[in-house]
Every structure is written in structure tokens, then in C-alpha cells.
Chain A
Amino acid sequence: MLTYLFRRLLVSLPLLLLIALELNLLVHMVPGDPTAVFIDPRFPPEYIEQIKVSLGLDRPLHVQIAKWFANILQLDFGISFFHQRPVSEMILDALPNTLLLSAVSMVLIFLLGTSVGIYSAVRQYSWKDQVVTVSSLFFYSMPSFWLSLMLILLAAVVAPHWPSSGMVGETIMLKEAAIAEALQMGEAPEVTIGFFERLFDLLQHLLLPAIALGVAPAAGVARYTRSAMLEVVRQDYIRTARAKGVPGRRVIVKHALRNALIPVITLLGLYLPFLISGAVLVETIFAWPGMGRLIVEGVFQRDYPVILGTGLLLAVMVVIGNLVADILYSAVDPRIRYG
């Protein structure tokens, strides 16, 4: 197993290198000058040159790329042109937020997707199955940004106090501000924030973006689970299980599901990077301070170090996602052994 892991990681290195190179070339090929955000009509050309020098944009392309690679090997992602902060610091700010959101949507995808899939497989061709099939197709083809907006509008009507943006509610935000002010003045804060208050607030904020992000993949998972289940329940060993008198529910959950999940698990591994990049629009709409926002802003501002850093991270995620899928595969399917 360990050797397998090692071999896989080794193989992915040239792949990542190639992706990084391609990213570099693409970024420099895109029209639009990163110094555009610094340019002012009366800015003399020599100052634009000065800024280019300070950003390292004056050097020939191959030197810029070589330097970027040299830095990356030392885990230095460079300094953001626009924010003038280390990209690694910006990623460390944003990544946990994105991972949290992705993890929650992943749970949602898995739970919702498989249970809906099983439900409709068990009731194959019933009207309930039809309803589930139609609605999962409906959700599957729904763009996440549109769903996000609809969720926000819906929440505003149904539950006006339900948070629709950011990670922290106004009450906590204001309390935090009051506490920071008191500390600055060297006074004891008037207000406190309880642990559960904070947790409940965070969960509230997670719900809508997690749904927006998770519903379409969940619908996909439901479809896969359904067909995998249908295939499995026709197998001989299921008939044997039924014949020896195992209760129906137990047959489905214990015997059939485990085998039906194999293709679904591969799918989940592949969803991991998709979730992180797919969150681009959802994060922007819900003002979630994660990786998606970094990517979007980086692209709009032609902030090369940010685009490259986040791009490379996404590539790594894809590789890891695939690897995780393969390992999970062996965990659920005893026939598969890596060595």
C-alpha cells in the first residue's frame, strides 16, 4: 500500500510540473496588463516601468517562469501584485474556509445523494421513483450560481433573519468589534460571545452555500447510486440473502449498498477538486471568504502570483482527490488491493 502511494505521488510530480508550466504560459498569454490597476492617466511611463520592475514583470518571460518555479520549490508562492501580501498567507486565510464549506457540502452530497438513490432504486418504476428521477435531473442541470441567487431570495422571504452572506452574522460581528474596541482602550468588554452562539451562527451561514454547492452533485450521486443499486440487487448473493430470510432493509443496507457504493466513491473523489473550484461563483455570491473569491479576484486583477498559486493548489487537489478515490476504492472493495 505504502509503495503504491509513493509510486502514485511520484508519477503525479511531472504531471503537476506540466500543469504549472501551462498555467504560467496561459497567464502570460491572457490579454490585459497587471499594471493596469496601478495606472493613472498622468502617471509618467517611467513610473509604470518602475512598478513593472518592482513586480518583476520587466524580465523576459522564461526568466519570470524559471524564477517562479525556483520559488515554488521553496514553497514561496510570491507576493500578490494587488494586495502586496504573500500569496501563501492569502491562501492560508482562505483555504480553511473553503475546506469547511466543501466538507459540509461533501457530507450533504453523500448523505442526500445515496439515500435518494437507494430510495428510488428500491421503488424502481414507481411514481415516487419517477418524481425523484425528474427532480434530480432538474437539480442536476441547475447552474449553482442561479440556485445560489434563488436560495438567497427565497430565504429573504421565508426566513428574513437567515444569514445569506459571509461567515459571521451581524450580531457576532458587532460584538467582536465592541470587544476589540474595549481591548484597544484597555477596558473590560461589555459583551461576550458564547461558544455555542458562534457555532450555531457558523452552521447557519454554512447551510445555504452548502446546499447551493451540493445539490447538483448530490443529484448526480443519486442517479449513480440508483443505477448501481439496481445492478447489485439483481446479483445472486442478494437473492441468496433474501432467500435465507435476512430482513429487506438489512439486505439493502448491509449487502447491496456496500457494493453499490464502489462507483459512487470514485465519483466523490473526483468531486473534491470540483468542489473547491466550483465554489468560485457560489463563494462570490454568498460573500464566502474562500479560495473561489481569491481566484476570481486574481483573474480580474491579472494578479499573476495569486492565479498561479491558487491554480497550482487546485491541480494538487485534483491529484489528491484521485488518489483518495483510489484508496477508498480498495477500502470498500476487498477485491482491489494495491501493492
Chain B
Amino acid sequence: MTPRFRVLPALLLPVALLMAPACSDKGEEATPGPAAASKPAPSGRGSGDEVRRPHWEDRGDSLVVAVSADADGFLPIVNQQATGGAIMDLIMPSMTDSAFEDGHLKALPSVAERFEFSADKKHLTYYMRKDLAWTDGEPITAHDMAFTYELVRDPVVASPRRPFTDNMDPEEPWTVLDDYTIRFNFRFGYNTETMLAHAGLNLCPKHLLIHEDRAKLRSSPLHIRKPVGHGPFVLTSWKRNQEIVISRNSRCKVKPVPYLKRVIFKIIPEYETQLTELETGKIDMMETIQEKDFKKVRAWGHIKLYKRGYRFLDYIAWNEQKPLFKDRRVRRALTMAIDIKKLIRTLLTFDGKTFGIQAYSTFTPELKDYYDPSFELLPYDPEKARALLAEVGWEDHDGDGVLDKDGKPFAFTLVTNTGNPRRAEAVVLIERDLEKIGVKANLDYREAVTFFDELRNKNYEAALSGWSAGLFPDPSDIWMSETKEKPRPFNFTAYSNPEVDAIIEKGLREPDPEKEAALWRRLHRIIYDDQPYTFLYWKTVHFGLHKRFRDVKPNVLSVFYRIRDWWVPKAEHKVKF
């Protein structure tokens, strides 16, 4: 089971885009991407079980999980969607098994008995176990890994994992040293965790894929019907738009066989329906529970809430292609005019508990190496904001309450996506704050896919949007200058700062973790001073799970990470067969 490394290239996934395939209207249920977690919100174990370890006889019981969208498929080369990805991690083999502890990633042996980096960190060699086989009996070898990456690199396949190989040597990206040893060759050494991820895609079976049409890999039966893998679980059945069943794979050798007999992913698009099913015990788990429902869920008594850390960032993007937002003093003034603390108090506080923290960068606060709790934020100061705008020439000359310059009022359209109640409320509060300093924000709403399209095409003035957290530091997509050769569709604001470009280039090639962290901290300062975004807040996400499940350790990498450790005491088994 590999963690969600496949989301790596999308360091930060646009929340707006991701909600679309799920057709969810709450905006976040379906968003993939790893998140950071610290510890379970309530106590992690049931009372009286603190010392109890699972016995052999505790094996059994089923877990029924509600997911809001069906899977697309399970082939790591072409999988793109969250449900499919989560299941793929449980049924396909991987070189290493990743853990996230104390804000750090750790790679543990899995298919590879061990791995090593060369002294210059440019080469990564995996030494594989020799006793593993695919579910159809063929041995798992280094050739499988090499072929997997061959397909990933092939333009005809158009694999979303293609950027994994960007830093590899174009002439000889990998070398198969023998049947069970493979070396990946990089052009330069960089963050080793990221390198392991780039060369850590789940293995795919060469002996079957070799007969597939590369251009049609997405419709291959290996992807959408019958995956052949080797993992703690195997796919048992998949009824489209209804449920996906994976069952304990007792033949799995790479990791302890799970205690749970099976996991059923039940596809329920509607949040309220999921919640009711959780209440009545028809499902055991929901991937996201909204804060407004916490009180109710706690009152039921049979569901435990687990915190998954700061996972979602909301921000306002100021399109620098529009003359209005070109001057950074204007952007700083707008930020100072918005009472972000009040937004957090109003939108992210429920029953006296706050589930948000003010943001200053696109790195989640869960990445402890890069997070600076004493980062100096711009204050909420409407007076200063007004003074700063006056400096640029924006003053209320005609006395109509709206600032103007050269006869033009300070007015623009602030757009956000529909179907996200939190953002809908946020824009109204922001509009009122801006009104106080004489800035007129006209609110507008777009359906998610359209909204995202407009952002990528920079066809907007100001937008309240979001990112979901990524674990690997790569700010290039959002902040690096766009060039003819290298368009940056995710640099929504047309932000361009040569100093920032230089730091990012350097940071992405810095193998020394401390130097790298220092670079990212400096980067955050420079970007924050420029205010291409008004960073609003990071918000936590919680999932709910029936309390009979023990040893559940929520993890940044995936909700189902280390699901093999989850167990239910025999006496509490709900499903006996």
C-alpha cells in the first residue's frame, strides 16, 4: 500500500475542479490529496482497551465506507480519481510503504527489501524481494517496475504521472541491474522524500500490459475491470455506481495480512444521505463530516470523529493582468481591509471550537519543517488600507462612498464557485469589509468546472478559490513566471517575480533538508509581501468512523492508510461471515 504519492504532481489540487467529478455540492467530500493529521480528535481508542492488542481470533468483520463518487479504475499509470486511487493503494504492490510521523515522511520496506541513495543523491536503487507474485501467479520483478515507468513516459499513454519522470535522466532514466534490482537515475539530487515518491509508483504487471494497446490503456480491463496486483486486499466485485468490494488477501506477503475481512465502498453522492446512513448504522465510515454536524454526531455515541489536519486553503486571487490589481500596494491594502480573524470566527467556529487557522502560504501548516508559527501577518487595519490606497491615487473625490481615480470607481467582480456554502458566506463578509474602505466588490458565482476554466484562462478579476494540501513542497505551478515554453495554467494571478523563480529553481534541486526549508521560508516571506493572493485560512477535515474499530491512526497520506492495522474485538464483530 503506497500512500497517495500519485497526487504528487498536483501539489495543490484545485478544490473547485475536484468537486466536479463527484457532483458533490458541498465541495469537499470528494477531494483527494493527502492531508496532514496530528492525532485523533477524541481519544483514539475505546475505553478499557488501552492495553488490549488484537488476537488472531479478532480477525474478521467488515468495514462499510461511504464514498461520494464511483472509482474510475485501478491502474496506477492512468488512475486519476480519488476513490479509485484509494483502492488502488490497497490492491497494488509498491516498492516502499510510506509513513507520516511528526510532520515527516518515512519510507518503509515493502516490495523492496531495502533501497539506497548514491552519495551524490542522483541515483536511487531498489533491492526487491524475490518471493513475490502477481495474483495470477507470475513473479514480480524489476522488469515490471521498468515497464510501468516506460508506459508512464510514453506520450501515447498520456499518463498523469508523466511529470514524475521530469527530473530523471532523459537518456537512461532507470537501469535494470538484474531481475530484482532497479536503479533510477536522476539529473540532480533533491528532496529525497520527493525523489522516493517520483520513483515510487505502484508496480504494474508487465506480462499483461505488454499486450495492451498503449493509446487505449484507460479502457484496459486491467484498469476498469479486473486489476492484477499484490496487496493486502484484492478486488472482489465492482457494481458500477453502487459498491466496490475489496477483501483480505491472505496470500499477500509484503505486509501483515489485515484483520478486517473486507472493505465495502458504498457510493452515495449526497452528504445528508451518507450522514443518515452513518447514524442508523448502515455504513461505518464517512470520509468527511462537516463541522456543523459534530455535535449531532457526538450525541449519537457510536461514531468517533478523527481529525485529518489542515487540509483546505481558501484564498482570494487578484488577477495581476487587470490594471486594478497590478500595484502590490493595492493588494496589500485589500488584504488589510479584510478581517480574516472574523472570517475564521464566523465561518469556521462551531460550538466554541475553531477549525481554521490564518494562512500565509500554500504549504499546509502540517508540514512542520516549513511552517513558522511566528510569521508576521499583515494586520486588519482599514485606516492603513485607506491610506495606502490614497498613496496610489484611490480617493473618494466625488463623495459617493466609493473610491475613485481618474473618474473611475474602485469596483470589480469577486467570483467564487457555487455549491460551497462556506465560500458563499465568505464573499458576502468580504464584500462588506471592502465596502467600509470604499471598495466595491460585485459578487458573482460560477459552476465549478466553468469557474476553474476561467481561473486557468485568467478570465476573471478577483476570485475566492481554494487548494487542497499537498505533502511535497513544489510551489512552481502556482508561483513561477509563465513563459512561452512553459505555460503555468495554475499561476492564476499571472504572478511573476524573478527572485521567486530563482528560489523555487534552487529549492527544487536542494538535497539538504535544512537548506531547502530555509529557502521555502524565504519564499513564503517574499510572496506574502507581494500579496498575489489574500491568504485567508486553512481548515481542518474530520472523518467519522464507528467506534468498534480500534488502532485507527488518521494519517496525512490517506484515510485508509494502515487500514491493515484496524481491528474489531471479536465480541463486537458486527458481520460474522
Using a CB–CB distance below 8 Å, which chain A residues touch chain B?
30-33, 36-47, 50-51, 54, 79, 82-85, 90, 93-94, 149, 152-153, 155-156, 160-161, 163-170, 173-178, 180-181, 184, 190-191, 284-287, 289, 293-294, 296-297, 300-302
Using a CB–CB distance below 8 Å, which chain B residues touch chain A?
9-12, 17, 20-23, 62, 64, 69-70, 72-73, 80-81, 155-156, 158, 160, 162-163, 166, 215-216, 218-219, 223-224, 234, 236-237, 239-243, 245, 247, 262, 264, 266-270, 272-273, 276-277, 279-282, 447-450, 452-454, 476-478, 487-490, 575, 577
Q: Is the CB of A176 within 8 A of B268?
A: no
What are 29 A-B pairs with beta-carbon distances under 8 A? A31-B449, A36-B452, A39-B17, A40-B9, A40-B10, A41-B9, A41-B478, A41-B488, A42-B9, A42-B166, A43-B163, A47-B162, A54-B158, A83-B70, A84-B224, A93-B240, A153-B276, A156-B276, A169-B282, A170-B64, A170-B282, A173-B266, A177-B264, A178-B577, A184-B234, A289-B240, A289-B242, A296-B23, A301-B20
A-B pairs, top 10 by smallest CB distance, nearest first, are A41-B477, A32-B449, A42-B163, A289-B241, A84-B219, A287-B268, A41-B490, A300-B23, A84-B218, A50-B158
> Contacts A167-B242, A289-B241, A300-B20: A177 and B262 contacting too (C-beta < 8 A)?
yes
Complex Cα gap A239–B281 (Å)? 59
Contact residue among B12, B448, B489 (Cβ-Cβ distance under 8 Å from A39):
B489
Residues of B within 8 A of A83 (CB): 70, 72, 224
Residues of B within 8 A of A300 (CB): 20-23, 448-449
Complex Cα gap A94–B218 (Å)? 21
Residues of A within 8 A of B453 (CB): 31-33, 36
> Contacts A41-B10, A284-B269: A302 and B162 contacting too (C-beta < 8 A)?
no
Complex Cα gap A272–B60 (Å)? 46
> Contacts A41-B11, A54-B158, A175-B577: A36 and B17 contacting too (C-beta < 8 A)?
yes
Please give the distance in Å from B511's CB to the nearest CB on chain A: 20
Closest chain A residue, CB of each to CB of B7: A40
Given A33-B449, A296-B269, 5 more A-B residue pairs with CB atoms under 8 Å apart are A40-B163, A50-B158, A54-B215, A85-B219, A167-B242
Q: Is the CB of A152 within 8 A of B273?
A: yes
Q: Is the CB of A94 within 8 A of B241?
A: yes
Q: Is the CB of A177 within 8 A of B80?
A: no
Complex Cα gap A174–B280 (Å)? 17
Contact residue among B23, B282, B454 (Cβ-Cβ distance under 8 Å from A284):
B23
Residues of A within 8 A of B269 (CB): 284-285, 287, 293, 296
Complex Cα gap A149–B269 (Å)? 13
Q: Is the CB of B282 within 8 A of A163?
A: yes
> Contacts A38-B160, A40-B10, A90-B240: A82 and B72 contacting too (C-beta < 8 A)?
yes
Complex Cα gap A165–B276 (Å)? 10
Residues of B within 8 A of A302 (CB): 449
Closest chain B residue, CB of each to CB of A48: B158
Closest chain A residue, CB of each to CB of B490: A41
Closest chain B residue, CB of each to CB of A93: B240
If over half of B's interface residues share one DSSP class (helix, strand or loop), that class is named, otherwise mixed; here it is: mixed
Q: Is the CB of A84 within 8 A of B264?
A: no
Residues of A within 8 A of B237 (CB): 176-177, 180
Q: Is the CB of B62 within 8 A of A177?
A: yes
Contact residue among B21, B266, B268 (Cβ-Cβ distance under 8 Å from A297):
B21
Residues of B within 8 A of A46 (CB): 155
Question: Which of A175, A294, A301 neighbours the largest number of chain B CB atoms within 10 Å of its CB?
Answer: A301
> Contacts A32-B450, A42-B477, A174-B264: A287 and B270 contacting too (C-beta < 8 A)?
yes
Residues of B within 8 A of A155 (CB): 276
Contact residue among A36, A152, A161 (Cβ-Cβ distance under 8 Å from B20):
A36
Q: Is the CB of A152 within 8 A of B272?
A: yes
Closest chain B residue, CB of each to CB of A90: B240
Q: Is the CB of B73 within 8 A of A84?
A: yes
Complex Cα gap A231–B70 (Å)? 52
Closest chain A residue, CB of each to CB of B478: A41
Complex Cα gap A207–B64 (Å)? 23
> Contacts A50-B156, A164-B273, A165-B268: A181 and B224 contacting too (C-beta < 8 A)?
no
> Contacts A85-B224, A152-B273, A168-B242: A41 and B21 contacting too (C-beta < 8 A)?
no
Please give the distance in Å from B90's CB to the nearest CB on chain A: 15
Please give the distance in Å from B12's CB to the nearest CB on chain A: 8
Please give the distance in Å from B284's CB to the nearest CB on chain A: 10
Complex Cα gap A149–B273 (Å)? 7
Residues of B within 8 A of A297 (CB): 21, 23, 69
Residues of A within 8 A of B281 (CB): 160
Please give the distance in Å from A154's CB to the nearest CB on chain B: 10
Complex Cα gap A47–B163 (Å)? 11
Q: Is the CB of B241 within 8 A of A180?
A: no
Q: Is the CB of A45 within 8 A of B241?
A: no
Contact residue among A82, A167, A181 (Cβ-Cβ distance under 8 Å from B236):
A181
Residues of B within 8 A of A161 (CB): 280
Please give the distance in Å from A33's CB to the nearest CB on chain B: 6
Closest chain B residue, CB of each to CB of A297: B23
Residues of A within 8 A of B447 (CB): 32
